[in-house]
Structure formats: structure tokens, C-alpha cells
Structure 1
């Protein structure tokens, strides 16, 4: 809940010492680190982090799987906490507010994409929450596996009153990554929707699709996930390894959310789309195998991709989740358990998202 405390300006808040967990090299485990957060700028918000989600992207960046990691790196872009100070120009947030920060912390705020609320596609490139140069100082950003963070106020979202703060963090990546394409392509009442893959992204796709009124089916390679899928709200389950089930589902769906995080063939999934159906890929970031052109041309199908949404859409997603009581399924861990969590993540041994509880030590 917001307080009446006065904002603190850059002039009264200097650089601060921070503690976190990061790594020095792709083959090294995460370890405790100390570093300095910048002094508060006029448009900054300082946040004491209470919870931080663990995303596959954190693991990929820590291990330089996508190349470009600048070490030492401190991951974490699913952040929830309390405002401890605000710059002199900040009006949207007050000391004591519960707030959240996602995958980006700045952009030019002047190009057409930023002005349209799509800061993630800033023409000059958005500043990511970690492993990204600060627009003003050039310093490399450090993420949410830390005790506190300083972020430009526009990129700080409000956590609606009454939400379970411990479960909110994964919404800032897994939530908005799956919500954005559903909103962009009009998924709602009467939509026949399928979700490929039941992991951190997929389980949120099911929950959000159901909340928007869609009839949701899970497509998986794992029979054991059928019961979980139905518990999450899915009406049906299809095993993609069962040719008869796939054939029976031909042209059934209006929309397919593909959350598989590794390269894979998509022709079989495209056959499940009906006339003018669309598949949106949100999981795989590296090169995908080709597909047969007729899979698109026949039935007027389309395939595309989607990143996270902008800040307005992220706040809209949080508000919907608060209204509908939608949360990710989470497993709470202490900060010193992060390396074990990474190894379990590689084995898909989590249902369905790890969250670091900063109260359990950093």
C-alpha cells in the first residue's frame, strides 16, 4: 500500500552498496558478489527486492549460450519489491509501494515504438535489466538476484493491492510473454486455442487463455502432464507423439501458442490450425528447422513470433491477474540454492517456476 512519505531526490541519495549473486565465467557457478548501484537520478526509483524469479534466459545468459554475456553478470529480470526512495521528478510511485520490474529498465522514450507503448522495440534498443549498457552511463546493468535495484520510474509497474507478493515475480516475464500474443491476436471467448509445451511459459499460457475465455488444449510429449494440464484449466490434452491424436485434431484450432524453448519441427503443429489460424512462437530463440510452404498456404495459415509486451501491456496483465486471481505455480528457494535450481531447470525438474525469497538470505 502506498504511503504519504515524501520522495527523496538524487541530491540526497548517493551510490549504494549492493549484494547479489552472479558468475564470472560461463563454466563457473553463481557466487555472492558486492557492487555499487548508481545514485538516484531525478526519474529513478530505488527498490528493496523481496522476490526474484528464475527464468531460462537467466541460465542461458549466465552460461553464455547466446554469446554476448559480459562478465561478471548478475541475472534476474522477474523482480518484486518495496520502494525505498524516489527521485525528485517521480510522481507515479511512493516510498512503501509494492512494485515490480521485468525484462527492461529503460529506452529512448521518444521513438514511435516507445510512444506507442512498445518500449521493448525501441528504435535505439531498450536497456535490458541485466547484461545491457545503461543509456546514460554505459555501465552494464545488473539484475534482480540482488538485495536492491535502481530503475527508471516508467519501467516500474505497480503490484495491485491484495496480490500474493511471493508469487508475482514470474508474471514479469513468463506472464507477459504469454499474455502479449493472446492480446495482440484477439484470443478470447470462443477461441479454440492450443498451447505447445507445459513448462514455465506454457502453464501461464493455459491460465491466461482460460481467463480470457478461450477453450484451451495442451499439446505435449509427456503423458504425465495431462493431469496437470487439466488442473490448470485445459479442456483437452494431445500427445504430439501419437499420430492418431494429431490427425484427429487437424484444423481444430484458431490459435496455437508455441512455448517450446528449443529448435523443433513445426509442420505437424501447423496442420492443427484451421482457416486463417495463427501459430505464435515465444520459446525458441535460436535457428529453427524449415517447414513446408504448403503448410501455410493451405488453409491460409500464418506463423509468427512475439516478445514480451511493453510497459502498458505489462501493467494490464498484472491488473488482470489480480482481478482473476491468476498466479504462476512456484517453488520458493533461498538465494544460496540458485546453482541447484539451475541444474534442476536444465532437467525440467520444476513445476513450474523457481522464485528466490530474499528474506531467506543473500
Structure 2
């Protein structure tokens, strides 16, 4: 059970090359009669179409593969390219784009009937009848597209579950951190209210005893008690300062933001990071707010535009730290993962509590940008 995901992760980077090789081999077998009807065209044409199909599998543009598949079908009745194109359409297209592909392939099969009727011979028996055309449409187009839809749905569901598990883990860690901070603050208050008060009374009484008593030994003992109590109060202040101090957070743009970008890249996003923060200490509230802005921006990109390029920029300005998460337009019709729409509301409240401002909205080219300016000082 544990080896299958490892195999999938190792094979997935080489999947386009494997598909290109499979399409080329199957097209060759189909055109030479090994898996279909022998084509009357010269062998060099078969090779050219096989190579074109393989190159189209490697191409990131979605129209190249269906075009090569249509050419291979009309010219050679080669089924391999059609199957791969339909499978890729099912995994990568949604809504109107997928419907346009399914409707566009049927005229191609009808054109194959006409070409088969013109060519005649054995080829006519394979593709030139309406029954065979419907059978080919169901087996070469609809079935691979449905398989691709199933795979895409499982992939989206897995991404949603992974995102939910990561969110729950982050919320649990944040809840544990809040509980620890609250407990440290409670201990500090108890120590200040009880211990510091008692030690202060001891120092006051020792000082009074030192002033009012005439016995040299008693005066010396009272002075020792007073000095020891004052030293204890100094040590107690240091301990209270440690208890009240929150754990240090990584600086934005170096550790926290960089980790977010690396995690998003590992999840498949194309994220670029521009870090222009001046080296130096950053207040904890500012660091947490910057980290939260980048986290929310990348989460929204994963939900709504996982196929778009993303640019994250963190810049030091005189009035504070500027953060922007901008993504290019997406080819998808709707969000990949569901969202409540409350993330930006809470983020805006967090930024405004620090005295900053936040804006979010579409860009002129159809993308989306999340922008925040966080003052460098701690909020009061």
C-alpha cells in the first residue's frame, strides 16, 4: 500500500514522455496493420504523424494534442492519439471547455467516415459505417474522457482532503500556541501578584528594621535581608519577562514566507518569490501578519487558479512592509476547492489591527492580486 504512491510520484514527472512513446508505437502498429488496418500511405508519413503526436503530448498548449489526434485519425485512422487526447481532456478540462471538446470530436469522426468511404477497401469496413463511427466515438472519446474525469475528481478530492488536514494541523498548532502563551501569562501574573508582593513587603520591613534598630548585629542582618530581597526582585522581573515574551517567529521573506513558497511549489503551483526586506529585527505581530497574508494568498490560488503562475513579493518601505500575492489568469471555469469566503474578512481585520491596510481584487488581465501594507511598529 505504501509503495504505490512512491511509484506514482516517480513516474509522474516522466508521464508526458511515456505517453509520447506509447502514442508513437501504437500509431505505428495501427498504420502498419499490427493493431488495425494497414494504411496505404508511405511509411515516412506514418513516422511524421507519430512524432507530431508525441510532440503534442509534451506541449503545454491544449489545442495541439487534439489537432494532432484529428490529423492522425483522418489520415491514418490511428486510434492511439485520439484516446490520449480524450484522456488528457478529461483530466484537464472542465465545464464548457470539455463540452466543446466532446462536441468537436464527433464531426471529426463523421469526416473519418467520408474519408473511409472515399478510400474504400478494408479501411471502409472499419470507419465508414454509422455504427462503427458511434462505437469509435464511445470507445475512443467518451470512455477515456470519463476515465480522465474520474481521475481528475479523485485528484481534486485528494487535494481538498490534504488542504483540510493541513489547515486542521495548523489550527491545532495555533491553538496549542495560544494555550501555552495564555498559561505563561497566567503564571507570570500569579508570580507578580503573589511572590513579588510578598518579597516587596519583606524588603520594606527589613529596611524599616535596619533604620529603627540600634543593635549592630540586627542592623547587619536586616541589611542583608533587604539586599537579598532586592536581588530576588530583580531576578523575578527577569523571569517574568521571559514568561511574558512570546516565542520568536521567523522573519517574513526568509524562513516563514520561504517555507510557504516551497510547500506551494511542492504542491504543483508555479510560485516566484521576490524578497526585498531589509535584514534586521521585525516585531512579532508584523512577522505573523506578513506570514498570514502570504499564506491566505497562496491558499486562494490553490482553490481558484492552481494552473496559474503566482508572484509573491515582500518589500521593505519607510512606512512598513508591503506584501503582494498576484496570480495570472486561470483557464479553469470555477474553483477547484470549496471556500467559505471568510478568509479575506479575517485577514483584513488582522491587518487593520496592526494599523495597516489590505486590498484584494481582480487585475485588468483577468488575474487576481492580494495586497497588504503592514506598519513596522507593534500595534497598541
TM-score (ref. length: structure 2)? 0.19
TM-score (ref. length: structure 1)? 0.20
- Return the structure number with greater relative CO, CA threshold 8 A, min gap 6: 1
Structure ID, larger Rg: 2
Q: Larger % of helix: which? A: 2
Q: Larger % of strand: which? A: 1
